[in-house]
Amino acid sequence: MNPSTMSGNRLAGIIGTGPWPSPAYDSLHAAISRVIADGRLPVGTRLPSERELATAIGLSRTTTTRTYGLLREQGFLLTRRGSGSIVRLPNVPGGRIDHLLTPAGADESEIDLTCTAQVASPWLLGAYDRALSQLPAYLPGTGYYPSGLPVLREAIAERFTRRGAPTDPDQILITSGAFGAVAIAVRALLQGSRAHPPDRSSSRRILIESPTYPNAIATLEGAGASLVSYPLEIGEDGHYWDLAAMEQALHRSRIRATYLIPDFHNPTGALLPESARGELAELLQRHSVTPIIDESIVELGLEDAPTPTPLAKFAPNSITAGSTSKIFWGGLRVGWMRLPRHLIDSMAATRLSLDLGAPVLEQLVAAELMRDHDAILPDYLDKLRTGRDILVAQVRTHLPSWDLSVPAGGMALWVRLPEERSGALAIAAREQGLALVAGPNFAPSGGLDGWIRLPYTAAHEQLSQLGPRLAAAWEDALSMEGRIPAGRARIVA
């Protein structure tokens, strides 16, 4: 794939236009390398010419030439005749970061912050009891329900309708978790089914936010997608979607689909404003892009506000993935897709090439939990809200140099470190009885070693102990010069 070229004005919008403390080439180098490490300047991007950048930021061409030379020396740029200057990351021992999160084998003394997940809802056993009483009615059949049990599809469709996106049960396809839904969607869009093969000229490029959920990166790449990063912008109130920048990315690359988490985004916690949802839908429709929307944590708003309106209300061609994992229990492994009618047949056919349906008992359990949804959720949200506030206080008290925005929902803090040592921090944390996931795991195109995700789903007693342990780990990470190269994390499994 040919790299996309960033204009001088766009790069100036990301790094600013000064003033540039003397020596200016050093200040400019620091600004560019920082946004590469942050993931806001994706790996593989072709930078503007030295002359174009000089004009955009008000410096001399001599300064930009010297800056590009320094970036090349440090491994941030690769320049070849006829190809321009392409963004890359310095080589690091240990190779490429593994984006797939794996379960931690933590002992009782270790605090596991590798995953945003809750223990089973207290309502779960009662739901299993009621589901078991219904199971005999299904035993005379084959047990295969590739589209899902009607009772569960009806419950999910009714919730979409109540939230503002009228939905019929036949638009719902039950899957094995939310990422089962994403895998089906991507495979159907990129590879097609025997009944509906893709157009030979169709693109395999999928636009994906940076940062994003690590398993999304693994799922999309595993389906053969070519990922195009769209870096979320950073403002005073945290991360946000710059739709003008997204349109530029869509102009530069022929995008087939986009994977987005607009509701309490994982890992940043950002929420796409209601006022921007119609604008986003119109933008994607104008570029003939199919949105794949991950609503796994849409229910986890921690402020007094209604559940966000489904993007499906504004984008009729969108595919929405959801799951019971974040609101009830991950062990159920029940997810769903809400589909536009013209995609139902192709998605169902693709689903049959992967598996024959989710387990009947777990679907019955999920239907029972959905029936009690409004009674179950408030207690869990109270627990999350308290956990968030405990964790915020711990970080601000013990690590005041760390920069965080308090999210309005979701399950984790996305914290900016004063130095790019997320990988070193994850390694040092083990000695303090902490299991962390370094920032580069959330980067589709590299970078983000200056960030760390801290879930607040752990027990409140554990969260109350985090501050001193994190502070000690950070002190050790700062002393790792020479063992962990600056600017890129190294993960040791």
CATH topology of domain 8-87: Arc Repressor Mutant, subunit A (1.10.10)
pLDDT digits (tens, 9 = 90+) for 291-322: 999 999 999 999 988 899 999 999 999 999 99
Distance in Å from the first CA to the final CA of the chain: 31
Neighbour-count burial for 362-397, b at 16+ CB within 10 Å, e otherwise: bbbbbbbbbeeeeebbeebbeebbebbebbbebbee
Average pLDDT (94-114) is 53
CB 325 within 8 A of CB 369: no
Domain edges within the chain:
8-87, 111-120+375-478, 136-371
Q: Which residues pair with 225 in a beta bridge?
A: none
Q: What is the pLDDT of residue 55?
A: 92
Q: Is the pLDDT of residue 482 over 90?
A: no
Q: What is the largest CA-CA distance in the chain?
A: 80
Q: Is the pLDDT of residue 464 over 90?
A: yes
Spatial distance between the Cα atoms of 243 and 37, rounded to a whole number of angstroms: 22
Compute CA 364 distance to the chain's CA centroid, rounded to the nearest angstrom.
29
CB 28 within 8 A of CB 64: yes
Higher per-residue confidence, 485 vs 431: 431
CB 153 within 8 A of CB 172: yes
Compute CA 194 distance to the chain's CA centroid, rounded to the nearest angstrom.
31
CATH for the stretch 136-371:
3.40.640.10
Spatial distance between the Cα atoms of 281 and 315, rounded to a whole number of angstroms: 5
List of residues 6+ apart from 246 with CB closer than 8 A = 207, 230, 280, 283
SS3 at position 181: helix
pLDDT digits (tens, 9 = 90+) for 119-172: 777 888 899 999 999 999 989 888 888 899 999 999 999 999 999 999 999 999
SS3 at position 449: coil
CB 36 within 8 A of CB 87: yes
pLDDT digits (tens, 9 = 90+) for 231-278: 999 988 889 999 999 998 898 888 999 999 999 999 999 999 999 999
Q: Is the pLDDT of residue 444 over 80?
A: yes
Structure tokens at 78: 């690769």
Spatial distance between the Cα atoms of 411 and 402, rounded to a whole number of angstroms: 19
Lowest mean pLDDT segment, chosen from 113-117, 199-203, 234-238, 429-433: 199-203
Q: Is the pLDDT of residue 488 over 70?
A: no
- How would residue 387 be classed by pLDDT, with cut points 50, 70 and 90? very high
List of residues 6+ apart from 430 with CB closer than 8 A = none
Q: What is the pLDDT of residue 202?
A: 55
Q: Is the pLDDT of residue 365 over 50?
A: yes
Spatial distance between the Cα atoms of 380 and 365, rounded to a whole number of angstroms: 18
Average pLDDT (341-364) is 88
DSSP H helical ranges for 85-190: 124-134, 150-162, 178-190
pLDDT digits (tens, 9 = 90+) for 219-232: 888 888 889 999 99
Helices (H) and strands (E) counted in the chain, each on its own, are: 16, 15
Structure tokens at 114: 């590798």
List of residues 6+ apart from 109 with CB closer than 8 A = 433
Q: Is the pLDDT of residue 17 over 90?
A: no
Average pLDDT (348-361) is 86
Q: Which residues pair with 335 in a beta bridge?
A: 175, 323
Whole-prediction pTM: 0.81
Q: What is the pLDDT of residue 80?
A: 76
Average pLDDT (372-378) is 91
What are the contacts of 369-376 at 24+ separation with CB within 8 A?
Answer: 369/121, 369/123, 369/124, 369/127, 369/324, 369/328, 370/152, 370/155, 370/156, 370/159, 371/155, 372/123, 372/127, 373/159, 373/327, 375/123, 376/121, 376/123, 376/327, 376/328
Task: Choose the CATH number for 111-120+375-478 among 3.30.470.20, 3.90.1170.40, 1.20.1090.10, 3.90.1150.10.
Answer: 3.90.1150.10
Q: Is the pLDDT of residue 37 over 80?
A: no
- How would residue 104 be classed by pLDDT, with cut points 50, 70 and 90? very low
pLDDT digits (tens, 9 = 90+) for 193-202: 444 455 544 5
Across the chain, mean pLDDT equals 86
Spatial distance between the Cα atoms of 28 and 71, rounded to a whole number of angstroms: 10
The Cβ-side half-sphere exposure at 280, using a 13 Å CA radius, reads 26
CB 113 within 8 A of CB 104: no
Q: What is the pLDDT of residue 489?
A: 35
Structure tokens at 421: 């040592």
Fold agreement between 8-87 and 136-371:
no
